[in-house]
Chain A
Amino acid sequence: MKTDTSAVNIDRDVGDFHYKVEYGYDAGVGLDERVVNYISDVKQDPDWVREFRLKALQTFESKPLPTHWASKDLEAIDFNKIRYYLAQGQRSTRSWDEVPEDVKRTFERLGIPEQERKFLAGVEAQFDSEAVYSNIKKAVGEQGVIFVGSTEGLKEHPEIFRRWFGKVIPTGDNKFSALNSAVFSGGSFIYVPPGVKVKHPLQAYFRINAENFGQFERTLIICDEGSELTYMEGCTAPKFNTATLHCAVVELIALKGAKLQYITVQNWSPNVFNLVTKRGLAHEESEIKWIDCNIGSRLTMKYPGVVLKGRKSRGEVLSIALANNGQHQDTGAKMIHAADETTSNIISKSISIGTGRATYRGLVHVPKHLKNCKNNTECDALLINSTSRTDTYPAITVRGTGNSVQHEASVSQVSAEQIFYMQQRGLSEAQAMSLSVNGFVNDLVRQFPMEYSVELKRLIELEMEGSVG
């Protein structure tokens, strides 16, 4: 059986290249009011957006780095050496033919146009600061689905955009959400009208091409009553010697009875600081599900969350983190129960290889006055080498009676006996390792869409090959 693995290109080696590109817009190095104003000028922001940005800059500057609980490695980020805005042009096109040649060949090499034809309902491709391409299939557009870049979204659909923007994740949520709010550019704006069920996934692809660069996309997705959507994002960057920053904010809103699934498979190069804030707001009987696969980066800090605001709403986070040599995956989930009969489910699996470190942080909050709320948390860690490290910090607060919570955690190691057993059947040590790791994540991966599970398995194999001598 031949499986099509070209669907989602997240192979590190596939992503590790970059072409020289002429940028028409460059905010220079460092961050101050002038840079924020430059971004607002070139983007021709409405006044309310400019004010929003400048206020966010103050918040960013006033907030300390969260190094009292998080990794001290954050201090290695020199905010004055980063470029905050780089773009060729200001408008994304609806046709690949109109995408400038030097940018287009990057996405062609990553296989994006091909995937779009094959199995996607729409694609947005972001190159450094701006979306260069965004398009949805005609049939999906005719149902009233809006899928555009955030800049276009806030200008052309202000009545929806403004109502929800920054409402799920306020500027001051954390230092990095404030940073994003000051300099955000790119990302998707999606609106699905009531009752519309988008059959095929919409996809965004985020590509960092420039060195010393910060990518600050801002995504806002609103699923109106009874609608359904699956959104997928893929991310790559070439390997540079200097730090690159990826600092996104993603806000999801599921109105009554809507179902929204957000899938991330990122394969960052090991120089990327990936500091992302993701949260969803679930109204009555709605469902928000995050599927999050974190591979690569120097440091990832990401804790997708759901605020369960409406009765009987449901939130879910399924995550896999793979920390290879020198990498730190600090990931987890947040579930804030704010209505009766809400349920949440967190399943987290992490793998630490070599000197890699995986950290799970989970926050589950059920206040006293609520009834019949349920949470299930499972976090499993797999250690490959004796130098590998894993930490688990669950913070579960469940008050009141009639609410239930379940928490299971495990740490396991691939034993020498297991590897010998597999080798005796003819598998090399690396093959044995990667099969063991795939076995470890298997029950979770089975819940992913086919295209992603196949690619994820292949990616794990590649990671394991490089890590076993």
Chain B
Amino acid sequence: MQQLEIKNLRVAIGENEIIRDLSLSVGLGELHAVMGPNGSGKSTLAKVIAGHPDYKVTSGEVFMDGENLFELEPDERARKGLFLAFQYPSEVPGVTIANFLRAAMQARLPEGEELEATDYYAKLYEKMDLLEIDRSFTSRAVNEGFSGGEKKRCEILQMAMLDPRYAVLDETDSGLDIDALKVVANGVNSLRGPNLGVLLITHYQRLLNYIVPDFVHVMVQGRIVRSGGKELALELEEKGYDLIRDHAEEPVAA
């Protein structure tokens, strides 16, 4: 089963149910966009998949290639090939991007095996060239004092280095001007391929002009209310979420 499979997921913070019986599958090689208005639970979905401790899964499961993610710690999920590009990436003061990534890659090696520095830097520079990132960038501390665009670029660089099987990109377009958006989109596009499944979470249609999805899902109030091809994004752009939301108030056809 080569897919990231979300099955009947329910998530709450305290008494407040945020995700309500959501199911969705992302096959390897596919790119799915999840769109929805603010407060629809999109970011919660991303964090729950990655294992953020603040959220309580009340029922349902998430499987990655058949393995139940909820039985794994966040770092185990990551090492098995799950990547989350954060909407608001944390700063790691004093730790350079180069050292951070090196530690992350070292953590993926079996005990006793040492990451070869020359191989590591060769790969790092290759990916930086691919993403048009300046060489001096990786000697800066992770996200410390970064602009919005730099943070997103840093996320995409990490994704490129860590070779995930499934990547969840949470609002990767937020806070970006159009030039930065293009750079990030080019980065994501260059990483697409048969060995990567992507779940792209976004509020705006504009990102989908640059990253063309295979499937689009509309998420409202904690559940997927409509799914379709890339044309659904355009429809949404035209009619707005209101129309869909009205639609969502009706019982979802089984």
Contact = CB atoms under 8 A, between A and B. Distances in A.
Interface in A423-463: 423-429, 431-432, 435-436, 438-443
B63 interface: no
A422 interface: yes
Nearest to B84: A424
Interface in B30-76: 50-53, 73-75
B78 interface: yes
Contacts of B114: 2
B79 interface: yes
B180 interface: no
B53 to A, nearest CB: 7
A420 interface: yes
B234 to A, nearest CB: 32
B94 A431 contact: no
Interface in A360-418: 412, 415-418
B176 interface: no
Contact of A426 (B53, B99, B108): B108
Nearest to B74: A423
Interface stretch (B85-93, B184-192, B218-226, B243-251): B85-93
Nearest to B83: A424
A6 to B, nearest CB: 16
Nearest to B94: A439
Contact of A425 (B78, B94, B117, B141): B78
Contacts of A438: 94-95
Contacts of A119: none
A440 B90 CA distance: 15
A427 B93 contact: no
B107 interface: yes
A424 B92 contact: no
Top 8 closest A-B pairs, CB basis? A439-B94, A439-B95, A1-B117, A421-B90, A442-B94, A426-B78, A425-B104, A423-B74
23 contacts: A1-B117, A420-B52, A420-B90, A423-B74, A423-B75, A424-B50, A424-B75, A424-B78, A424-B83, A424-B84, A425-B78, A425-B100, A425-B162, A426-B79, A426-B104, A428-B75, A429-B73, A431-B107, A436-B92, A436-B95, A438-B94, A441-B94, A443-B94
Given A420-B74, A443-B94, 15 more contacts: A2-B114, A412-B93, A420-B90, A422-B92, A423-B74, A424-B77, A424-B78, A424-B84, A425-B107, A425-B162, A426-B79, A426-B108, A426-B162, A427-B103, A435-B99
